[in-house]
Amino acid sequence: MTARPGPREAMARLDEEARARLRRAEHPRRVEAQLATLADEPFSRDDWIYERKLDGMRLLVHRHGADVTLRSRRHEDRTRAFPELVEPVAEHVPRDAVLDGEVVAFEGSVTSFARLQGRIGLDNPTRARATGIAVHLYLFDLLHLDGHDLRGLALRDRKRLLRATVRFEDPLRYTPHRNRDGEAELQRACDRGWEGLIAKKAGAPYTGGRSRRWLKLKCSRGQELVIGGWTTPRGTREGFGSLLLGHHTSDGLRYAGRVGSGFTAAALTRITAQLRRLERPEPAFLDPPRLRDAHWAEPDLVAEIAFTEWTRDGRLRHPRFKGLRTDKDPAAVVRERP
C-alpha cells in the first residue's frame, strides 16, 4: 500500500497561489456549513464540478487529537447516534482536521433518507448499532487541517487535500465528482434513481450559509416543510390522518397543504407522540385550512417532503412524506425557489 503524505507534506505540494491562501488557526469549535441553492436548469461550465446529491444527513466531522465529534449542521452532537463512524475517523483522518460530509443509509443501491430515520433520533450507541441499519459517511470537503484553516482555498485544492490525507475505507467514502457536462450527468443521475446533483464552483472558497456557488440540481421536487398540525385518522389508521404543512415567509407561517402518504407504522407512532406534546389551541398558520378535524401544533417539527409540483395557489401536488429532519431549523424553512 502506498504511504499517504502527512498533512504538512500534502499542503507543501499545493501550488504557490494555493499555499498563500493557507491561514494558521486553532481547531475551530464551531463551523457554519455551506448550503446549496436550488437551480432551475442544469448547466455545463468548465469552472464547475458536479457531485452526487446524497439523500442523507449532513455531518461536520471534527478530529482533534484523540477526540472525534460528529455535528449536525445545527451544531448538535450526533456522535452517539453513529458510533461505528468514530473509530474509522480516529484511524483514517489526520489528528487535527474538520471535514464536511453526509451520513447515509442504503436501500439497494440508492441512498434512502427514510431508512436513515431509524438512526437519526437515537442517542444511545448500543441501540443505534442494534437497529441493524448500516451507515456510510461520504466526505466531500476538508475545512481545517494541521493547524491551518483551509476555507479560503479553492474547492479543487480542498478536495485534493481531502483525497491525499484521508484513507478511504468503508464506512468512510470519498465523494467523487465530474468536471463537465452537467446536463448529461444529471440525466445519468436521474436514470440511476439518485436525488440529483450538487454543482459547485471549482475555484471558490468555502463560505458558511446559503450560497449560489453551490447549486442543487434535482431529479424530482422535494424540500423541507414545517409541521403545523394534523388531522384525525379515519378507518383503521392510528395516530393521525395527515400532517398539515407550511413554510415561513416575511409575514409568518403560510399553509402549503397536507400529506397523508409515506408513513410507516413506527413513524405514525413516533410522530403522534411528538405532536401531542406540541399541541396548541390555535393555528400558527397565517392562512389555516378550514378543516373540521384539524388539530394544531407548535411549528417545531420539520418534515422532508417529496412532491410533483407547486400549484398556482401555493399548494403541494401529490406530496409524500420521507422523514423528519432534526438537523434543520424550523424557523429557517422557506419555500425553495430556483
- Sole residue written with cell 413554510: 247
pLDDT tens digit sequence for 83-138: 999 999 999 999 999 999 999 999 998 999 989 999 988 899 999 999 999 999 99
DSSP labels, 120-176: HT---HHHHHHT----EEEEEEEEEETTEE-TTS-HHHHHHHHHHHS---TTEEE--
> What confidence score (pLDDT) does residue 180 get?
83
- Which of 112, 111, 131 shows the shortest CA–CA distance to 121? 131
- Which of 304, 239, 244 shows the shortest CA–CA distance to 273? 239
Cα(323)–Cα(316) distance, integer angstroms: 17
- Which of 134, 147, 141 shows the shortest CA–CA distance to 103? 134
- Which of 96, 98, 92 shows the shortest CA–CA distance to 146? 96
Q: Each residue of 125-136: b (16+ CB within 10 Å) or e? A: eeebeeeebebb
> What confidence score (pLDDT) does residue 304 get?
96
> What confidence score (pLDDT) does residue 337 get?
87
Please give the model's pTM, rounded to 2 decimal places: 0.83
What domains are defined for the chain?
A: 31-218 (3.30.470.30), 221-332 (2.40.50.140)
> What confidence score (pLDDT) does residue 17 get?
95
Angle made by CA atoms 188, 36, 229, in degrees to the nearest 5:
100
Catalytic positions, written as ranges: 53
> What confidence score (pLDDT) does residue 2 get?
65
> What confidence score (pLDDT) does residue 125 get?
95
Q: Which residues of the chain have pLDDT under 50?
A: none
> What confidence score (pLDDT) does residue 1 get?
57
Contact present, 116 and 135 (Cβ < 8 Å)? yes
Contact present, 222 and 305 (Cβ < 8 Å)? yes
